[in-house]
Amino acid sequence: MYPDLYILRHGETTWNLQGRYQGRKDSPLTEKGRSQALIQRALLNGLDNLPSKVFVSPLGRVIETARLAVTLGDQPVIDERLQELSFGSWEGSLREDIARNIHMSSTDRSWAFNSPDGETFDMIATRVQEFLDDLDQPAIIVTHGITSIVLRGLWLGLDQAKMLELSTDQGCIYHLSNGTEKIMR
């Protein structure tokens, strides 16, 4: 069993707003994204006995979210394994254009693992599993949409299909404890 986790997805970015795949590329938080991070901050500040360990993706949108949302004394640990799924040559492209070109529903997330030159499900699951296996205490984790669902899904013991049904909302916290997930809003 894994330790308790508080997982935050970065706030809305300009590319989220435009419907673009970001992957390993970055775009800045919008005003709404900064507000979402401040909502996460209020949620965390309302809790007792928060973990002191904070892990973040190295991408700017996550680092900015963490700076706004997490007020603990410990410096966040940047961990490459928490980066977003690499979408390869799709990065920067509009979701609707990709969906139209590959004839898939834009709500079906499974095709994201088949992008040209990008990461497969097995690749992201392996790096996220290694991160989970290294955790030895409860933690706050600030990461991305797809990385979050893989992380939460592995923690919950879900298969890929069930993971892809998990929420990727921004401005909330996913609390994993006692084998269950609770979404804090």
Task: Read off the pLDDT of residues 46-96 as tens digits, 9 standing for 90 and up.
Answer: 999 999 999 999 999 999 999 999 986 668 999 999 999 999 999 999 988
Counted domains in the chain: 1
Cβ atoms within 10 A of the Cβ of 148, count?
25
Say which residue, 16 or 106, is predicted with more confidence.
16
- The catalytically annotated residue of 10, 12, 64, 119 is 10
CATH number at residue 153: 3.40.50.1240
Closest to 47 in 3D by CA, of 21, 69, 63: 69
- The catalytically annotated residue of 12, 64, 84, 119 is 84
Q: Is 31 a catalytic residue?
A: no
pTM of the model: 0.95
Q: CA-CA distance, 115 to 149, in Å (whole number)?
A: 18
Domain residue limits at 41 = 5-184
CB 141 within 8 A of CB 7: yes
Q: Is 181 a catalytic residue?
A: no
Q: Which residues contact 132 (CB under 8 A, 6 or more apart)?
A: 2, 151, 154, 155
